[in-house]
Chain A
């Protein structure tokens, strides 16, 4: 595919597909001068505002076009899985927070759920409802951060300010609930740490009303009504459903490619099967804009789920009685939760003697979703790199762990 420098600037979707399937990109030749251009290696990161953390991308460029993309990870590798083995079961919950530090509650749920699966603990019904409420609020907080920073990536500052406004309210409520704005340490094997404080639920209901209004009147209007946002997202970074499945994507990235796979429905846990409003958000297009729409739809879904949970909230205790000295019995389990980015799973082995887990492996969805980046960025323009990476929504704490 030899072409003049002008034509090398843009390529069609079909050409990009060919490139992704193995066609070589040749360096353009400037014929007037008889010179050949050189390929350029561009190092993006690890300190870069739009890699959402400390990801480093080594991009081989031909002009404006990416020939090859090699993600380099490990700049935030803290050895979490080894630390799990050095801490007791309860202490591990606090470290599970650090994995995906944007939606902490969902990691805690996976970690506590693995313990419960080994020890076969029955969680009180009220605790399951509380878990669902905080999970969905945490998902909202994660998607709000994503929406705000994605706006910054594609050149809009206002959504960031608006999204943080709502996120602050969620964090204020979490703080009232468990005493911390982030890294909550709220889940326990067999329930949660505290019940709702007085007046918390009515405060939550008032917040949901405001929040729903903000989604419909602010975020959707300012982004979907913006020509620049549409230009930069519609049709950019298309992932067909077969490729998405082949790369093992989960979460919003998979559902934006038309695959209806949501662990809340397909591998049900907690009380999700009982909730009538649980309808996964699925879009067919597979581009960055579809991923945006899936996440906005998930925020609306979270509001509906929280409202339904509040309406059905039963009384009773919030924590199963495990005795003063609880020891996890021998066994192993893999417990999965539909996180904000995809399938958050914890595979845990307990040897029955030690107070620490023998092994705890976390499956971070960001890590598995990042696999597709080299395929997805091949043949694209450098300017689209940021828009595509932003739409993938990975958190480096979860990639490197």
Chain B
């Protein structure tokens, strides 16, 4: 059994930090096109055998979920243009695995509410949220979706989308810069990794 062959140091059940121990560890194999030289490896807290990972199922599932949250392209107003810019070539959200904007809520993991939610739109927003499969998350993008924003005294708008659906991450700004939305997606990733 591979477990019995592990060094005593790591056999105590040290909690595994995936970012540190698994993701950033490079393979020992040589890569084509790099002149055949060996990639440097950092000493592992895991077993010497590179093919082995010890963790709980919950951690593994959360980690896998956090790597590629597919957003529902729910563009409502100005923020939708910045959301498009975030997914565009310059700010390239696909670096973080979240560029697959789905048009159907049934294929989406995270709903990015980009723009002003009016009273007429709120029931549709709630219905779309309920159509998303579990687990699901919500990013409120922009001031309007977070708190009503500059339409705080309008007779027609919802004062924050958290009155209708539970919100995980609020991204402030009017509209938020693409960097801000990227930060929001990264924060959501952290939250999902922690099991939130």
Which residues of A come within 8 Å of B, CB atoms?
Answer: 46-49, 53-54, 74-79, 82-83, 86, 94-95, 98, 101-102, 145, 149, 160-162, 164-165, 167-168, 171, 181-183, 396-397
Per the bound structure, the CA–CA distance linking A48 and B153 in Å amounts to 28
Closest 6 CB pairs between A and B?
Answer: A164-B88, A101-B78, A168-B90, A49-B103, A79-B156, A79-B154
Check A47–B128 contact: CB distance below 8 A.
Answer: yes
Check B75–A78 contact: CB distance below 8 A.
Answer: no
Which residues of B come within 8 Å of A, CB atoms?
Answer: 73-78, 80-82, 84-85, 88-90, 103, 115-116, 118, 120-121, 124, 128, 150-151, 153-157, 174-175, 177
Residues of A within 8 A of B85 (CB): 164, 167-168, 171
Per the bound structure, the CA–CA distance linking A240 and B161 in Å amounts to 44
Given A46-B121, A160-B88: A102 in contact with B157 (beta carbons within 8 A): no
Number of A-B residue pairs, CB cutoff 8 Å, is 90
In the complex, how many angstroms separate the beta carbon of B177 from the nearest chain A beta carbon?
A: 6
Check A161–B82 contact: CB distance below 8 A.
Answer: no
In the complex, how many angstroms separate the beta carbon of A21 from the nearest chain B beta carbon?
A: 34
In the complex, how many angstroms separate the beta carbon of B179 from the nearest chain A beta carbon?
A: 10
Residues of B within 8 A of A98 (CB): 77-78, 150
Check B84–A164 contact: CB distance below 8 A.
Answer: yes
Check B120–A164 contact: CB distance below 8 A.
Answer: no
In the complex, how many angstroms separate the beta carbon of A37 from the nearest chain B beta carbon?
A: 27
Per the bound structure, the CA–CA distance linking A85 and B9 in Å amounts to 72
Residues of A within 8 A of B116 (CB): 76, 78
Residue of B nearest to A396 (CB): B77
Choice from A83, A101, A160 contacting B153 with Cβ under 8 Å: A83
Residues of A within 8 A of B151 (CB): 78-79, 83
Per the bound structure, the CA–CA distance linking A46 and B75 in Å amounts to 10
Residue of A nearest to B125 (CB): A47
In the complex, how many angstroms separate the beta carbon of A326 from the nearest chain B beta carbon?
A: 22
Check A95–B78 contact: CB distance below 8 A.
Answer: no
Choice from B73, B77, B153 contacting A76 with Cβ under 8 Å: B77
Per the bound structure, the CA–CA distance linking A86 and B84 in Å amounts to 32
Check B75–A183 contact: CB distance below 8 A.
Answer: no
User: Can you name 19 extra interface pairs (CB under 8 A) apart from A78-B154, A162-B89?
Assistant: A53-B77, A53-B80, A54-B121, A75-B76, A76-B77, A77-B118, A79-B151, A83-B151, A83-B154, A149-B84, A160-B88, A161-B88, A161-B89, A168-B89, A171-B85, A181-B82, A181-B177, A183-B175, A397-B77
Residues of B within 8 A of A86 (CB): 153
Given A77-B118, A79-B156: A49 in contact with B73 (beta carbons within 8 A): yes
Given A53-B75, A53-B80, A181-B82: A95 in contact with B156 (beta carbons within 8 A): no
Per the bound structure, the CA–CA distance linking A204 and B121 in Å amounts to 40
Per the bound structure, the CA–CA distance linking A308 and B76 in Å amounts to 37
In the complex, how many angstroms separate the beta carbon of B73 from the nearest chain A beta carbon?
A: 6
Per the bound structure, the CA–CA distance linking A164 and B86 in Å amounts to 10
Per the bound structure, the CA–CA distance linking A162 and B88 in Å amounts to 9
Per the bound structure, the CA–CA distance linking A264 and B75 in Å amounts to 32
Per the bound structure, the CA–CA distance linking A167 and B91 in Å amounts to 12
Check A47–B118 contact: CB distance below 8 A.
Answer: no
Choice from B81, B88, B157 contacting A182 with Cβ under 8 Å: B81
Check B154–A183 contact: CB distance below 8 A.
Answer: no
Residue of B nearest to A172 (CB): B90
In the complex, how many angstroms separate the beta carbon of B181 from the nearest chain A beta carbon?
A: 12
Residues of B within 8 A of A47 (CB): 74, 124, 128
Residue of A nearest to B101 (CB): A49
Residue of A nearest to B119 (CB): A77
Residue of A nearest to B72 (CB): A47
Per the bound structure, the CA–CA distance linking A160 and B82 in Å amounts to 14
A–B complex contacts, Cβ < 8 Å, 22 sampled: A46-B124, A49-B103, A53-B80, A54-B76, A75-B118, A76-B77, A76-B121, A77-B156, A79-B155, A79-B156, A82-B154, A98-B150, A101-B81, A102-B81, A145-B81, A161-B88, A164-B84, A164-B90, A181-B175, A182-B78, A183-B78, A183-B174
